[in-house]
């Protein structure tokens, strides 16, 4: 999936650590008071060194409306009803992401939601100002709430770093206590505030980003899990041929003192069931079991709305798709979701497009567990026609890729490729393009769909400031960046993610390639490594997988955007086509230099976002290997950089460098050689030398990403209305209040958070340090 500069995405390479910060912290209680005081002082000292500005959403945070009104108004009554109930399912499922983000996110959501439901913002503001809160602090409170709703938690969807309120804890508390919600239910609101205030504000180093063990926090695993635990769980799941998309993992201690790993499946049903759940068994000096029932009450709401949507489906493919999704969410059966995905692929060119489930593995530190995502959108006929023409030429264009036919799929599986206007997108952020399903066996053998989310792209670029470029490049970028990005989305999704073969040994011992003839382009020798039965790309490449694949798809986009025939499909010829191609390259490489390192954490030497790492790798590749094709200079010492790209060399030197790199990327992916992938990415994605210092300059120019305000659909009498909201923090809050007009959902979230709390108790203590 190609994420915009405003949105979220993927967890990347993490160092292996045997001991977690959790275990170190939990051992404090058995030490002396002197040791405890010393350690707490160390935590305070580390926090004092943190620049809080990196974790704040400013009061002038930009909100933009995601407008889909024109497309929605063109729908029939039946299509509107279908879209409405699909949207209701997506929004209810999207609440799961709060559970997947941090232990405190569901309770923070409940606290804020209860406050905003209790009275109008105007009345709340009057009461807050009377309590001594300043205008700026009240605005900061609204912005924080808008950020939490948009990111489905208190960690940014793009970059996975924590954000905290831009007002003091004291002012925040004054607003809470000035609210009608507090007046009407003082005990409950007080408890919520007391249970969340430390976690809301804490910048203890481990709590500043998502990750395993001392690299951060995650709720895909219990907080006592290190990367060694993750690897052990992965090994066991491979033996059972289990994929991790719909599960979380909790580590406890069995009666005999050995670790017990519980693989908990997302489902409405909570009881055991053969073939899905598994009783405890021993493996490598640890126990494993599979249970189900995670997020049960939220998935029940999803299914209720999917069942209603079924009544308004346009055809049998849509009805069968929803039937299998419902069954998957009910039972915790991933195979049912795969079956639903097969019907989704068959549903060619629908007016209403939707896909829902545990889809993208970006935020799982091990790169395998899916975040819940649901989107509902409507076709944009004009742009879809261009993408259709691109699909028609795809088999011809794929042959232009440099790795040769042996590493390409035997048959190109012609996908559906449409441009859509997003009506609803739940999750931690909104992408610009999607290539799904992510299941290997379906993508490789049966097909996939490409989706470009047309109304996201122009909204994402509204009023953006562009540092580190000459005035001429800046003007050209402003003119063509949307056009270039539309081209890149098309190539990235269709010919990037949609190309390339995985070399595999089948269950019967046969191979999907000729072992005696196919050679490794990098060594000249016969193929020596491949995927065996039960192995997938995600299970082989784990934490590296998302960044590696995004880099491959981005490189395909650069490589093929040099083809005049492709630019002509999008309506660009002659000088204008050359300008669009140049801006496509410049935009991506500029992003690698000017934005990507915001997502790098120097203290742990980890990348927090896969697209960012992928773009940095391509930028460094051109910088290091291009002999001047791309140069970055420090134009003002300690203050500014200048990115320069030689336009006239892109079709020659640039193409060769990217082409050679693509051969490496596809060969490594095709043969499942994750070790070689790690070595290649380490070379180009480490921040040393000048880049260790230049990251500070990048951070000086850091800008908050746009927050999208989405509409609601309202089923009124016998019709469905679209309700739009102002592009502001106030509009964002209003949309969520009307999306969930009752506190019943808060009760559910609090109950789920309480049930999980035993797995994260040490984090609450850490936040209070």
Q: Catalytic positions, please?
A: 493
Return the structure tokens found at 764: 């609450």
Give yes or no for a contact between 22 and 227, defined as CB atoms under 8 angstroms apart.
no
Cis peptide leading into 285, omega within 30 of 0?
no
Helices then strands, counting H and E runs in the chain, come out as: 30, 18
The token duo for 706 is 């746009």
Strand bridging mode 278-283 / 431-436: unpaired
Neighbours of 51 (CB within 10 A): 9
Stated length of the chain: 769
Among residues 89, 635, 674, 72, the alpha carbon closest in space to that of 325 is found at 89
CB atoms within 10 A of CB 33: 7
Q: How far, CA to CA in Å, does 253 sit from each of 249, 261, 324, 605, 759?
A: 13, 8, 36, 31, 12
Contact 318, 109 (CB under 8 A): no
The Cα-based distances of 78 to 85, 217, 239, 290, 375 in angstroms read: 11, 44, 47, 41, 18
Give the span between the Cα atoms of 646 and 586, in whole angstroms: 10
Angle at 453 between CA 452 and CA 457, to 5 degrees: 105
The residues near 285 (Cβ < 8 Å, ≥ 6 apart) are 258
* CB neighbour list of residue 682: distance below 8 Å, 6 or more residues apart: none
With residues binned 3-state (H G I as helix, E B as strand, rest as coil), the percentages for the chain, rounded to 5, are 55, 15, 30
- Residue 224 to residue 603: CA distance in whole angstroms: 21
């Amino acid at each position: 999936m190609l994420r915009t500069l405003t949105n979220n995405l993927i967890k990347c390479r993490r160092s292996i650590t045997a001991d977690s910060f959790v275990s170190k912290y939990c051992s404090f209680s058995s030490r002396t008071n002197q040791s405890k005081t010393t350690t707490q002082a160390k935590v305070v000292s580390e926090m004092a060194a943190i620049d809080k500005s990196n974790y704040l959403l400013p009061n002038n945070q930009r909100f933009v409306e995601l407008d889909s009104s024109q497309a929605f108004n063109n729908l029939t009554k039946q299509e509107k009803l279908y879209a409405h109930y699909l949207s209701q399912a997506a929004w209810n499922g999207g609440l799961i992401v709060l559970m997947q983000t941090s232990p405190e996110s569901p309770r923070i959501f409940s606290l804020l939601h209860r406050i905003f439901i209790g009275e109008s913002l105007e009345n709340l503001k009057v009461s807050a100002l009377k309590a001594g809160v300043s205008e700026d602090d009240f605005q900061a409170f609204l912005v924080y709430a808008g950020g939490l709703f948009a990111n489905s938690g208190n960690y940014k969807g793009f970059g996975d770093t924590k954000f905290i309120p831009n007002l003091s804890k004291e002012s925040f508390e004054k607003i809470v206590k000035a609210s009608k919600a507090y007046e009407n239910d003082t005990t409950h609101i007080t408890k919520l505030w007391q249970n969340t205030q430390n976690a809301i504000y804490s910048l203890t180093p481990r709590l500043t980003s998502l990750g395993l063990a001392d690299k951060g926090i995650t709720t895909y695993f219990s907080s006592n899990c290190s990367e060694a635990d993750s690897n052990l769980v992965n090994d066991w799941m491979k033996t059972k041929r289990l994929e991790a998309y719909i599960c979380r993992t909790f580590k406890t201690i069995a009666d005999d003192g050995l670790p017990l790993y519980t693989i908990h499946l997302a489902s409405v049903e909570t009881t055991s069931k053969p073939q899905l759940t598994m009783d405890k068994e021993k493996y490598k000096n640890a126990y494993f079991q599979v249970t189900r029932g995670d997020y049960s009450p939220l998935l029940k709401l999803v299914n209720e709305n999917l069942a209603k949507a079924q009544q308004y489906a346009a055809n049998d493919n849509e009805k069968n798709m929803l039937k299998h999704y419902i069954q998957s969410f009910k039972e915790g059966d991933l195979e049912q979701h795969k079956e639903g995905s097969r019907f989704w692929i068959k549903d060619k060119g629908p007016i209403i497009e939707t896909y829902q489930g545990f889809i993208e593995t970006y935020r799982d530190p091990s790169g395998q567990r899916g975040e819940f995502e649901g989107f509902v959108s409507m076709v944009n006929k004009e742009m879809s026609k261009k993408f259709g023409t691109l699909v028609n030429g795809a088999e011809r264009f794929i042959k232009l890729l440099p790795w040769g036919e042996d590493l390409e799929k035997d048959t190109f599986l012609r996908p559906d490729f449409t441009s859509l206007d997003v009506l609803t997108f739940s999750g931690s952020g909104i992408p610009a393009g999607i290539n799904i399903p992510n299941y290997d066996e379906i993508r490789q053998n049966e097909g996939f769909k490409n989706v470009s989310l047309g109304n996201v792209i122009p909204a994402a670029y509204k009023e953006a400031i562009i540092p580190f470029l000459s005035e001429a490049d800046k003007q050209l970028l402003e003119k063509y960046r949307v056009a270039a990005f539309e081209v890149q989305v098309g190539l990235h999704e269709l010919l990037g993610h949609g190309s390339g073969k995985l070399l595999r040994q089948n269950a019967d011992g046969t191979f999907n390639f000729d072992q005696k003839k196919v050679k490794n382009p990098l060594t000249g020798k016969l193929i020596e490594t491949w995927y065996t039965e039960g192995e997938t790309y995600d299970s082989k490449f784990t934490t590296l997988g998302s960044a590696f694949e995004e880099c491959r798809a981005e490189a395909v986009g650069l490589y093929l955007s040099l083809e005049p025939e492709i630019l002509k499909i999008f309506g660009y010829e002659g000088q204008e086509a050359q300008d669009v191609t140049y801006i496509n390259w410049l935009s991506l490489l500029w992003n690698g230099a000017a934005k990507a390192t915001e997502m790098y954490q120097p203290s742990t030497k980890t990348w927090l976002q896969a697209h960012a790492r992928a773009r940095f790798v391509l930028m460094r590749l051109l910088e290091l290997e291009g002999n001047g094709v791309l140069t970055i200079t420090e134009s003002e010492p300690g203050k500014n950089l200048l990115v320069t790209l030689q336009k006239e060399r892109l079709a020659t030197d640039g193409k060769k460098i990217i082409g050679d790199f693509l051969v490496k990327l596809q060969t490594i992916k095709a043969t499942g050689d994750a070790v070689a992938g790690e070595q290649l990415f380490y070379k180009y994605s480490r921040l040393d030398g000048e880049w260790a210092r230049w990251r500070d300059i990048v951070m000086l120019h850091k800008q908050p990403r746009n927050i999208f305000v989405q509409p609601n659909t309202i089923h009124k009498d016998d019709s469905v209305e679209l309700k739009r909201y102002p592009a502001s923090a106030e509009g964002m809050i209003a949309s969520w209040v009307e999306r969930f007009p009752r506190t019943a959902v808060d009760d559910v979230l609090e109950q789920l958070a309480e049930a999980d709390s035993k797995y994260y108790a040490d984090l609450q203590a850490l936040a209070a340090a």
